[in-house]
Amino acid sequence: MLGIFRKKKKETKIVYRYPNEKVVIFIDGGNMFHATNALKLKINYKKLVEILRKDRWLLRAYFYTGIPSGDLPKEVREQLKKQMGFLKELQNIGIKVKTMPLKKTPEGYIEKGIDILIATDMISLAFKNAYDTVVLVSGDSDFVPVVEKIQELGKRVENASFKKTSSYELRRVCDEFILLDNIKHRFTTPLYPETEKETNKDLFAKFINGIKKFLTRSKK
């Protein structure tokens, strides 16, 4: 009778490795932006790619994002200029950038078609046998059927994302999951370092100085 109350052992996925494993990395820029913006972090994508590729042969890393187009307000044009500078930096470090126009709505600009573009490239390269393992940097559950199709082609799929935008369904279906929150110190810096909260060391120093001033006044 007591056996029914025993906890089931947690299933662990077996990680298989290919000899001379070829890997491709697909980064969902919009998904990463929402996560890092909420966490107030800035990503060093060169370091991130190196972490995710491990000791494997990297075919290429892709970065996907939407960009505004058409007759743009001044503030949007200024933002676009910064974005294009950022995308140029990515290309300079060897990351292939792919973009699509953002869709304008009464509420602002939204991404449309980015997930389809990523999915098409992932499946296309899988059919061409260009890689053994694909690393999908996104938390979007829409990629679940894409992952399953790629696995049917005999490829491994790893998923990397921040907890803030991570999908349980996507994590579950992939062969391996990397929680970026656990390793963020290796590839991120604070987005606004000058406005960071005081560290415990700073607060302790202020506390000690306050006591010293109080004791000085008490002696007078």
Strands 188-190 and 176-179: unpaired
pLDDT digits (tens, 9 = 90+) for 24-57: 999 999 999 989 989 999 999 999 999 999 999 9
Residue 135 in domain: yes
pTM: 0.78
Would you state the torsion angle of the CA atoms of residues 88, 136, 179, 156, taken in this order, to the nearest 10 degrees? -140
SS3 content of the chain, % helix, strand, coil (to 5): 50, 25, 25
pLDDT, greater one: 181 or 217: 181
Domain-located, residue 154:
yes
* Residue 87 covered by a domain: yes
| CA 172/CA 161 separation, integer angstroms | 13
pLDDT for position 171: 96
118: domain CATH number is: 3.40.50.1010
Domain span at 148: 18-193
For residue 204 the two structure tokens come to 């302790």
Dihedral sign, Cα of residue 102, residue 104, residue 107, residue 113: negative
Count of structural domains, the chain: 1
200 occurs within a structural domain:
no
Question: Looking at the domain assignment, is residue 204 inside a domain?
Answer: no
Is position 28 within any domain? yes
Tokens of 195: 């406005």
CA proximity to 117, closest of 28, 14, 219: 28
In the 8-state DSSP scheme, what is residue 47?
Answer: H
Identify whether 113 is part of a domain.
yes
pLDDT tens digits for range 184-217? 999 999 988 764 455 566 666 666 666 656 555 5
CA atoms 115, 95, 35, 192: torsion sign: negative
Q: Residue 179: beta bridge partners?
A: 161
Q: Tell me which DSSP letter residue 55 carries.
A: T
Higher model confidence: residue 174 or residue 2? 174
